[in-house]
Amino acid sequence: MSPSSRSHIHDIIFADIIPVIAREICNNNQPNGQSCYWFHGAYQYLRLLDLVSTPEFHYDFYSKHISRSLNFNAKNILICGTADHTILKYVAEAVVQNSPHSTVTVLDICRTPLDVCSRFANTIGFQIFVQHSDAMKTKCQDNHFDIIVTDGFLTMFENKDKRKLVTEWERILRRPGIVITTARIDERMSGKVVARKDQIETFVNRAVNKAKLNGFSTTDLKTINNLAKEYARNMRMWPFNSRKEIKSLFVNWDVQIEVTDVKCEFSSAKYVQILASRA
């Protein structure tokens, strides 16, 4: 049985475990002293209620291209920034099927997803390495990785920091090497996107109503209400506004881009699936 099929039930279990872990870890975890509990504490519930964009929308894309890269002798894989164990689940499945001797490293600035990924890996009997560091200034060796995988990560950074992130990827990625990722694109917007008050209220109501339909208790509904509200209030993103902007970020890379429609927190949105390779 593959890690993916064996681990499906763990998604539900982790929805209860992760908020507990996040409450202990996230509150004093960020360099600026701010807590990221609003994100990690809420994300699992919102994901299971189908209220947020997740890697699951792009499963075929990730599975196909991770497997294809492993079949071309890629050995060292970096998951660079992750909300939870989902991307690791896809990577583990591809490694077991295509390249059992590959090494997988999970990197994040928060220890919560690192803890979650370690627990998940132990559950399915899969070895990983974890690195607690800023993705823009990692502790990784030059030219170490063959594959970098991350989901929706670029649009969590302002434009100046997107450039720092890609510059770091250039340093740690071998030639040939590939970045496999997705990002939100919105030609109508430029700069930071935040939810309006009416969007926050609608989002919270949707979360509570879906939780009711899924049999959540009254106490749990209050928790969902509070978590959804804090998530919506704090969520910030910086979408790309064109394919040209994406390609200008990956200077001297071979970039392939496909656009797909995805349900997001506050509206439907377009996401791009990006393959950026260094020959």
Residues 21, 138 share a domain:
yes
Residues 60, 152 share a domain:
yes
CATH of the domain at 84: 3.40.50.150
Residues 64, 29 share a domain:
yes
- Of 166, 161, 89, give the one whose Cα is nearest residue 128: 89
Residues 120, 71 share a domain:
yes
Residues 16, 63 share a domain:
yes
Distance of CA 43 to the CA centre of its chain: 11
d(CA 24, CA 112): 9
Query: Which residues of the chain fall below pLDDT 50?
Result: 1-7
The pLDDT of residue 217: 87
Residues 211, 84 share a domain:
no
Q: What's phi and psi for 36, nearest 5 deg?
A: -110, 20
Residues 224, 161 share a domain:
no
Count how many Cα atoms sit within 13 Å of the Cα of residue 92 in the half-sphere of its side chain: 25
d(CA 266, CA 154): 19
pTM higher than 0.75 for the full model?
yes
Residues 17, 113 share a domain:
yes
The pLDDT of residue 7: 47
pLDDT in tens, 61-72: 999 999 999 998
Residues 64, 168 share a domain:
yes
A 10 A CB-CB count for 69 gives 24
DSSP state of 213: H
Q: What's phi and psi for 177, nearest 5 deg?
A: -155, 165
Q: Which domain holds residue 211?
A: 197-234
The pLDDT of residue 5: 41
The pLDDT of residue 168: 98
Output b/e per residue, 73-109; b: 16+ Cβ within 10 A. ebebbbbbbbbbbbbbbbbbbbbbbbbeebbbbbbbb
